[in-house]
Structures are given as structure tokens and as C-alpha cells.
Chains A and B, each alone.
Chain A
Amino acid sequence: MSSVSGSPAFKALEGDDEVIIGLEVHCQLDTRTKLFCGCSTDYRDDGPNTHVCPICLGLPGSLPAVNRKAVEFALKVAKALNCRVLEESEFSRKNYFYPDLNKGFQISQYDKPLAVEGWLRIEGDNGEKTVRITRVHMEEDPGRLVHKGGADRPKYTLVDYNRAGIPLIEMVTEPDIRSPKEARRFLNKLRATLEYLGVFDSEKEGSLRVDANISIQPRGWFEAHGKGMEGRGRTEIKNISSYKGVEKALTFEITRQKNLIRRGQRLETATRHFVETRGVTTASRSKEMEQDYRYFPEPDLVPLRVSDWCERIVLPELPDARHNRFMEEYGCSYNHARTLTGDLRVAEFYEKVAAVDPRIAATWVADTLLGELNYRDMNIAKVSPSHFIELLQMLREDVITDKSAVEVLRVILDQLAEGCQCEAPSTCVARLNLAKTADDGLDAVIEEVTEEHPQAVEDFHNGRKEALNFLVGQVMRKTRGRVDPGDVNRRLHEILSHGGT
């Protein structure tokens, strides 16, 4: 094995490798209609092939017509990612034959994409870093395949074209990402940005797909040479459909590649698929790497000249800006602000409840509520802000302890998880008798008062009834009228009569 131990690949094994990752992210744009036809994009609850027309069905003679809103959304993304929009961009045909691609080509963008050379700041493994965006372009989604048959009967494929023609935005990064965690953080920041722009709904199933490219190189090699080392080919993992999946797939790949490197094997450039259920990547059977897509400009469409339009676009507040604002306006800590602004719905929820007390709200949303929601795999959208405000108020007014508040929250969330209407926090508190009872506080105040006025106590013991009234008055003053005088009277009488000091 001397040749192996002498090779650069082996030397690099000795702890000084780095992981080089690039991502290609496809997101469905949240328009009302498809990219090239007027079919509704709201297909998920409906039967197969119920949202199709001659255009997205690829009937002979049909022609595409570009959805202005999709272009607007794509420009917003390009601008938010700090890209340069091309003076003139165009649609191109990507030609290949597959049953989910009913025209035999996908209308995409190749030579002249919408925008190039952007960037996104993320939390890297070693502090803040910039991930460069190579290009942003638009393309149409293909249809959906369902594979049938198998052991007992001949295999065939069922096709549903509801999804065919849905507008996609593809964002490609430079290989600037250095770990699966960074990849996950990049995707979270990207997702949040797209949601803040109002162009993407991450709740919709299948609305995001990622292709990840990964290789292991000797530290510094990639930076120095601009490409990988011989024998350290890159793997492309195609069609990962969840954020967690991306991190898992990349983690698995690193282990797989490291094992091969350790055994002295060459790694060729290859395509693999991620099997979500098993958390592994498998070799691809198709000849995707050798595909010649024969791109040429789409002759049924005319060019886009939209750089001026992009200039005029005013972006809404984006995650970083909101982060800073939360720290300034609400006094949130850096970390709380980051958690609260990391998801649009969470940020909006927080702003609805922050008026009670921004600090308490920040802690209870970021630290407690999100944790409880995560545990139940629930979305914050299910929680009523007014209910949460009620809970925060009770906390602030010391009506309940922290422990009780958590209990109330859990009860309510469990009710929601079962699909029932949940009770109001106050109702829950009352039902479970979780309120800090008047007694608890009252005894302490009574003790204080009796200590401060020993003469009155002695007077009471000597049968002077008005001494009791005086003491009740003192207790009322101290509790600022939040306790019922009748209760005070009774309790005071009890304590004094039974000799409780």
C-alpha cells in the first residue's frame, strides 16, 4: 500500500481536510397561476390532472405566455440576494425525454439568466460569512410521477401534470459552504428571506428542492486551484426535498467519502440520490451526468429587459434588518432577535405580543413557545396571539408562576394538536386552579402587618374588635385592594385566633 500512503490523498487524510459544498435550490414561487399558463397553482388538495390546460399539458399547437407576477417575484429575490440583473435575459429550452416533461423540453434559462453575482450573509461555523450566489433564474416545474407495480405485477408509471408549469426560481451558490450545518443555516436564511419577500410559502409540501454538490479536499486546495484535486471528485446529490434532509444527506456523504479516501480509493464525479427514510445516499442509475440538453433560446417567447424594473422595486424589511430593529426597538438580545426573526411567522407573532412586555415576550416566545411547538411539530400559526398575550399578562402580574405558565401552555398546545378549539389561558388557570391563590400572598402580608403592628394584635387578643378592622385595612393597603376584604377578615381572624404568628 506504499503508493497509497505516498499519495496526496492519503496525506490529506491525516486530519487536514475540508468539505466543499455548493447548493442548487429550487423554490416554487407563490403566484396564483402557473408560469406559462393561467391554470391555478392551488392543486394540492385536488385530484390528478385537474389543473391543466393545452399549454401545461403540452398539447400540439399550444404556446407559453409569461406570468408577469412570477417575473416580479423573481426580481424581488434577485434584488434581496444582491444580484446584478442582466440587461437582457431570455428563456431557453432544456431538451430531454421523460414522462413528467410532457413537451420533451423544460422552459428554463441558460445562457442569459435573470440575474447573477449575488450573495447572502449567514452564520458560518466560525462567525458570520458570505455565501456567493452564482445565478438566479426562472424555470417551470415538471409533472409528478407515481411508480406502480413491482413484485406481483408489471411495473408502470402514472403521471399527474397538475404540477407541470408551476413557476420555480433556481438559486445556485458558489461552493462556499464548508459543513452540513452551514448548509442548513444557509437554507434557513434563504427560506426566511423568500418568505419575508412574500414570494414563497415553505409550508406547501414539495415547494423546496435542493441539489447539493460535495467533495472533500485537502485544506486550502480548492481555494488555491479553483477546483478539486484529482481523485477527489465531487458528488451531486439530487432532489433533496427537506431542510433536515440536506444536512443528513451531506453528513452521510462526508462519512461515505471519508471512508473511501481512507481506503485509498479514487472518487469520481458522480450523481447520487438521497433516500429520506433511510438517511443514506445511493448511486444513481440514470445517465444524468452525460446528458446533453441541447439548450437554445425559446423561440415562442421574447427576451426580458427588466433591469430597470428591478431598480424600481422596493423591498420589504428583510431578516437582517428586522433582527437589528428587534434589538433596538424591543431590546432583544442578539440571540433572541436571531431566533425571533428566523421565521416570518414567528417574527410577526412576536410583534403582536411584544406590547405586553418585550423582554418577557422575547423569552417566552423564543425560549419556551418555539420549543414546545417544535416538540409537537406544530406551526406557530396555530397559536392565537391574543391567548398568548393573556398568558404573558398573567405572568407579568404575577398571577401565576413560571411553572404554571408552562403547564398552561402545554395544555393549550395539546388541545390544539388534537384539533380541538383550545381554551383561553385564564379559563385553563381557573380550571386547574393554578392561580397564585390569594391565600399564599395574603398570609405573607398578614405576617408583615402583624409584625408591624403588635399593639393591634394584642388589642385583638384582648377582645377589641376594631383592632381587627384596623389590621384588615392595613392588609388591604399593602395588597392594593387586589384581595377581597371579606377573605382578609376571615383569614386574619383564623390566624390570630389559632395563634399563628
Chain B
Amino acid sequence: MISERDVLHIAELADIGIIREELDEFTGQFNDILDYFDILDQVEAGAGAETGLYNVFRDDEVVPSLPPDEILGNAGETEDGFFRAPRVM
């Protein structure tokens, strides 16, 4: 059973904003969904063996980097070849 406060905490952990009005709706939906997920409790932990690919490597050879206009082309804000981001402090 998770509460609205739990949902807000999850949103903080995920660094994702939620609209206040949605909080009630989300809390109800999350509880339904997480209740449904409880069926996984019946599964034995560590069951089955993983097979498949392993040791896939690439050679240490230089591949040309992208040209500057393609690197910076999609960015909203740049300065002297740097990307601009909001301040961290």
C-alpha cells in the first residue's frame, strides 16, 4: 500500500515533476498496478540459467568523430563549442 507521500518521494527520486492534481489519480493507479505485480512473489528467486551471447568486443581503432555542426546542431544553447546547461548549484 503506497501513499501520496510515497508517490511524491518516488517522483523526487526519479527527478520528474508531477502535477498536484494528478497525485490522487496516480496514487490509486500505482496501488492497482503494484498489487498486480505482487504475483511475482510466487516466482522462485534466481530461477533458470542465462545463456546467450558473451564477450562481444570492438577493436581499439579510431572512428572519426562527428563534425561540429552535427554535434552542436540540435542544441538550444551553445557557447564557444560548449553546450550550455542550467547551473548545478
Contacts and interface: CB of A to CB of B under 8 A. Distances in A.
A and B touch in their complex, CB below 8 angstroms: yes
A53 B68 contact: no
A145 interface: yes
B81 A50 contact: yes
Contact of A145 (B59, B71, B81, B88): B88
Interface stretch (A222-230, A240-248, A299-307, A462-470): A299-307
A234 interface: no
B85 A159 contact: yes
Contact of B65 (A50, A301, A305, A306): A50
Interface stretch (B17-25, B37-45, B50-58): B50-58
Interface in A96-131: 97-99
A66 B56 contact: yes
A208 interface: no
Interface in B40-81: 50, 52-63, 65-66, 68, 71-72, 79-81
Contacts of B88: 98-99, 145, 147, 157
Nearest to A285: B89
Given A67-B57, A302-B56, A52 B89 contact: no
Interface stretch (A37-45, A350-358, A390-398, A448-456): A37-45
Prevailing SS type, chain B contact patch:
loop
A39 B58 CA distance: 12
B79 A158 contact: yes
Nearest to B74: A59
B83 A158 contact: yes
Nearest to B81: A48
Nearest to A304: B55
Interface string A233-265: 000000000000000000000000000000000
B33 interface: no
B63 A146 contact: no
Given A304-B54, A304-B55, A51 B81 contact: no
B60 A67 contact: yes
B57 A149 contact: no
Interface in A144-158: 145-147, 149, 154-158
B40 to A, nearest CB: 15
B55 A47 contact: no
B87 interface: yes
Prevailing SS type, chain A contact patch:
loop
Contacts of A33: 60-63
A37 B62 CA distance: 9
A161 B82 CA distance: 9
Nearest to A73: B60
A31 interface: yes
A156 B87 contact: yes
Interface in A48-97: 48-54, 57, 65-71, 88, 97
Contacts of A139: none
Nearest to A149: B87
A68 B59 contact: yes
Count chain B CB atoms within 10 A of each CB in A57, A88, A149, A292 and give the residue with the most.
A57
A48 B57 contact: no
A182 interface: no
A160 interface: yes
A266 interface: no
A40 B82 contact: no
Nearest to A68: B57
B68 A49 contact: yes
B54 A39 contact: no
Nearest to B63: A38
18 contacts: A33-B60, A33-B61, A38-B58, A39-B63, A48-B82, A50-B81, A53-B65, A66-B57, A67-B58, A68-B58, A88-B54, A99-B88, A157-B87, A158-B79, A158-B82, A158-B83, A160-B81, A302-B54
Return the 6 tightest CB-CB contacts between A and B, nearest first: A38-B63, A69-B60, A68-B57, A158-B82, A155-B87, A99-B85
Interface of A: 31-33, 37-40, 47-54, 57, 65-71, 88, 97-99, 145-147, 149, 154-161, 285, 292, 301-306
Given A68-B59, A70-B60, A292-B13, 11 more contacts: A33-B62, A40-B65, A48-B82, A50-B81, A68-B58, A69-B59, A155-B87, A157-B85, A301-B56, A303-B50, A304-B54
